[in-house]
Amino acid sequence: MNSLTWHERAKAVLPAGGFGNFDHDVFIRDGKGSRVWDESGNEYVDYLIGSGPMLLGHGHEEVLDVVQQQLGKGMTFFANNTSAVELAEAIVEAVPCAEQVRYVTSGGEADMYALRLARAFTGKQKIFKFEGGYHGMSAEAQMSLAPHINANFPSAVPDSAGIPDSVRDDMVIAPFNDEETVTALLDEYGNDIAALIVEPLQRIIPAKPGFLAFLREQCTQRGIVLIFDEIVTGFRLAYGGAQEAYGVVPDLCTLGKVIGGGFPLAAVAGKQDIMRHFDMAEVGREGFLMQLGTLSGNPVAAVAGLKTLEILRRPGAYDTLKAYGQRLQSLFTDHLNRHDHSHQVVGDPTLFDVLFTNDSVVDYRTAKAADAKKNAVFNQHLRAHGVLKSPGKVYPCLALTEADFELTENALIAACEGLSS
């Protein structure tokens, strides 16, 4: 059976015939290194890499080895295991804000608990979030994630059905990179705001110089918990994440993707005086944040994550990743320019995409103004020529080879010609 037949079969048992994640007619059969193969037998250079986790590439031998050893010892216990403690130690060592770590299973869960933790710590209710900022699927996170209308700030627009209206009242929504509006909103609502959550690289949009430091300063002055959502940027932008790369330390951060080495694992990490709300003995019943999960700290995920971090600590890993990313960025831009396709490569070498617009991209609305149809066609052409990527991102991985760059360049040439025709 090929991908299309599987898609038909899936429609009977999965709403919309898929998991809700990626195009539902793509069924990936295998992955090895930088490549994946679909059920129709097509081979791709993989710039989707599981939406970020497979930074080392698929099936890295050393990761496979520790996972296989762990599988023989047991897959999940619910009780503590030593590998997850060692992984927490590695996170505390690496990530500037991390004094303690609490495991969960998905990034969205980590974000949900980080917000709740900020509320427990401050005794305040409101959440400050940026329009277009992605923080998982909780009710708060679904506010103005990808709104179809331009509401007046700070009004929140729910992006999902099924969310009580009351959630909207607790949200303050602001445009990313806009210090003036942020200041005005903080002046008005600051006393009621528990947390300000931000992706330090919002999807692919970089913070303007000084913007994250400005947020840090504002949150410190006003007693607001600053949360960096580092589900994507953690162990990608640098070993210590965006907080290391940009030199701004939040109170809490959320981590996922890379720390589970391809298995379900995520975490809230941060300052001990906030994290202590997970410990009833420390804060008493009133301040206690109840949190547990069947697969939290799963030992298979923990050994995979631990080995992944060990490999990432080896000399040159991040230089290589950045060099690969820069080389890809140049390839994209050179070929698009050669074919006169006005565009910008937006993001960081370790995570970027092309936006078809001449206007400067600083927030959700300016990104939305780019030509999305052209982007979709470009991505389709790339895929038809053996390059798989997400609709909004290129994720370079460390397993890329010369053959991958060559194939990518040929796919880019074809895609640029395709766009012109």
The structure tokens 């001990």 sit at 272
d(CA 332, CA 409): 8
d(CA 366, CA 30): 37
CB of 53 vs ligand PLP, minimal distance in Å: 9
The answer for 163, left when phi > 0, alpha when psi is -120 to 50, beta otherwise, is beta
Q: Which is nearer to ligand PLP, 48 or 336 (CB)?
A: 48
CB of 130 vs ligand PLP, minimal distance in Å: 11
The single residue among 70, 106, 142, 144 that binds ligand PLP, judged by CB under 6 A, is: 106
Q: Which is nearer to ligand PLP, 57 or 107 (CB)?
A: 107
Mark whether 134 is an active-site residue.
Answer: yes
Cα separation of the two ends of the chain: 33
Q: Does 260 sit near ligand PLP (CB under 6 A)?
A: no
Mark whether 271 is an active-site residue.
Answer: no
Element (H, E) at 28: strand 28-32
Q: Which stretch binds ligand PLP (CB under 6 A): 74-82, 102-110, 169-177, 236-244?
A: 102-110
CB of 115 vs ligand PLP, minimal distance in Å: 12
The residues, any chain, with a CB within 8 Å of residue 162's CB and separated by 6 or more, are none
Element (H, E) at 144: none
Q: Which of residues 314-333 bind ligand PLP (CB under 6 A)?
A: none
CB of 190 vs ligand PLP, minimal distance in Å: 24
The separation between CA 365 and the C-alpha centre of its own chain, rounded to angstroms, equals: 20
Separation in Å, CA 164 to CA 132, 138, 144, 146, 169: 20, 12, 14, 18, 10
Among 363, 368, 396, CA closest to 201: 363
Q: Which of residues 124-153 bind ligand PLP (CB under 6 A)?
A: 134-136
Mark whether 373 is an active-site residue.
Answer: no
Q: Which of residues 46-65 bind ligand PLP (CB under 6 A)?
A: 51
Given the residues 257, 307, 389, 393, the one annotated as active site: 257
Q: Which of residues 289-308 bind ligand PLP (CB under 6 A)?
A: none
Given the residues 44, 134, 246, 318, the one annotated as active site: 134
Q: Which of residues 262-281 bind ligand PLP (CB under 6 A)?
A: 266
The separation between CA 189 and the C-alpha centre of its own chain, rounded to angstroms, equals: 28
DSSP string computed for 158-226: B-STT--HHHHHTEEEE-TT-HHHHHHHHHHHGGGEEEEEE-SEETTEEPPTTHHHHHHHHHHHHT-EE
Q: Which of residues 195-254 bind ligand PLP (CB under 6 A)?
A: 199, 229, 231-232
CB of 378 vs ligand PLP, minimal distance in Å: 21
Q: Which is nearer to ligand PLP, 232 or 269 (CB)?
A: 232
With b for 16 or more beta-carbon neighbours within 10 A and e for fewer, the 378-410 pattern comes to bbebbbebbbbbbebbbbbbbbbeeebeebbbe
CB of 237 vs ligand PLP, minimal distance in Å: 12
d(CA 101, CA 86): 11
Q: Which is nearer to ligand PLP, 108 or 297 (CB)?
A: 108
CB of 125 vs ligand PLP, minimal distance in Å: 22
Q: Which is nearer to ligand PLP, 199 or 251 (CB)?
A: 199
The structure tokens 């994290």 sit at 275
The single residue among 50, 175, 256, 347 that binds ligand PLP, judged by CB under 6 A, is: 256
d(CA 74, CA 77): 8
* Total binding residues toward ligand PLP, as defined by CB under 6 A: 14
Among 285, 216, 290, CA closest to 253: 216
Question: What stretches of 223-343 show up as alpha helix (H) in DSSP?
Answer: 241-246, 272-275, 280-287, 299-312, 317-338
The token pair at 30 is: 């295998």
Q: Which is nearer to ligand PLP, 106 or 408 (CB)?
A: 106
The secondary structure of residue 361, as a DSSP letter, is: -
User: Among all residues, whose Cβ is closest to ligand PLP?
Assistant: 107
The single residue among 33, 57, 108, 261 that binds ligand PLP, judged by CB under 6 A, is: 108
Q: Which is nearer to ligand PLP, 31 or 256 (CB)?
A: 256
Given the residues 229, 348, 353, 363, the one annotated as active site: 229
Q: Which stretch binds ligand PLP (CB under 6 A): 106-114, 213-221, 277-285, 322-330?
A: 106-114
CB atoms inside a 10 Å sphere around CB 198: 25
Q: Which is nearer to ligand PLP, 259 or 411 (CB)?
A: 259
The contact set with ligand PLP (CB under 6 A) reads 51, 106-108, 111, 134-136, 199, 229, 231-232, 256, 266
Query: What is the set of active-site residues?
Result: 134, 229, 257
